[in-house]
Amino acid sequence: MEKITNGWINGLIGVAIFAGSLPATRVAVADFDPVFLTCARATLATLPGLALLLLFRQPRPKSVDVLALAVTALGVVVGFPLLTAFALQHATSAHSIVFVGLLPLCTAIFAVLRAGERPRPAFWLFSVVGSAFVVGYAAMSGIEASFQGDLLMLAAVIVCGLGYAEGARLSRTLGGWQVISWALVLSLPIMLPITLLAMPVSFDRVGTPAWLGLAYVSLFSMLLGFVFWYRGLARGGVAAVGQLQLLQPFMGLSLAALLLHEKVSWTMLIVTLAAVICVAGARKYAN
């Protein structure tokens, strides 16, 4: 019981950190190209990650773990950051954040496929109902929203769910911070050259908010958040703790309204609050 509770606490801290990712990305893509932003955040996050691996003399991953690390990197280091960066050129962070409500269901599906978990039928009911509120909101706001931005966010959610489940499975043997650190190191030979190629000729027009956004997604979203998140998934269960992501839209919408002065409608709040209610039910029937 203590291990499971610890997992939920770590998972909640990770979700709280991730909640600032989309608002920070929204600010950053105002002055940075999405490709540069994606590769730069990974490259910058690799430096402290590599330092931790060397400082604590972590052994290299086994050959059988390399493919899983590559899948993890593809999902959370490359796929989700890049797709959301492009999506946020077509939609506000407040609108895009609601799609994050689909992550628990997506993560749970991959937890069954990749992590061997078997939640009870009632768990799926609560998970599907929570996701249904999100999908319903997207359909209702489709006239005003960008269809291209919505497709990009949906693709981002799918690859992120895979990266979460795969990384959590590895965390059971490698450790949470080790998984994200090795995933970053594995992606560095690709991300660093692209960072240099996509780098702006001049940074004169890059404002302070964009630099702060880049700093946040590099240190917090790309590294520190995963330290807590993967630890939480590994200890509390991927499908169960993954339902905490239903809280992320509510946190993110609050940040978007507070920091970016974006409009948060009553519809958005109703959707996120309804999704939050489903967390309790899903948690009860997760195992």
As a residue count, the chain comes to 287
Instruction: Name the helix (H) or strand (E) containing 86.
Output: helix 80-87
Task: Give the tokens for residue 28.
Answer: 């950053």
pLDDT in tens, the chain (287 residues): 677 889 999 999 999 999 899 889 989 999 999 999 999 999 999 999 999 999 999 999 999 999 999 999 999 999 999 999 999 888 777 677 777 778 888 999 999 998 888 888 889 998 888 878 777 776 676 545 577 888 898 899 999 999 999 999 999 999 989 999 999 999 999 999 999 999 999 999 999 999 999 999 999 999 999 999 999 999 999 998 998 988 887 787 777 777 777 777 777 778 777 877 887 777 777 76
Q: What is the pLDDT of residues 96-134, one digit of tens each?
A: 777 777 888 899 999 999 888 888 888 999 888 887 877
pLDDT of 143: 44
pLDDT of 115: 80
End-to-end CA distance of the chain: 12
Q: Is 42 left (phi over 0), alpha (psi -120 to 50) or beta?
A: alpha
Q: What would the DSSP string read from start to end of 40-63?
A: HHHHHHHHHHHHHHHHTTPPPPPH
Instruction: Name the helix (H) or strand (E) containing 127.
Output: helix 121-140
Instruction: Tell me the one-letter amino acid at 280.
Output: A
Of 17, 1, 25, give the one whose Cα is nearest residue 209: 25
pLDDT of 130: 81
Do residues 95 and 182 make contact, with C-beta atoms less than 8 angstroms apart? no
Whole-number Å distance between alpha carbons of 23 and 209: 11
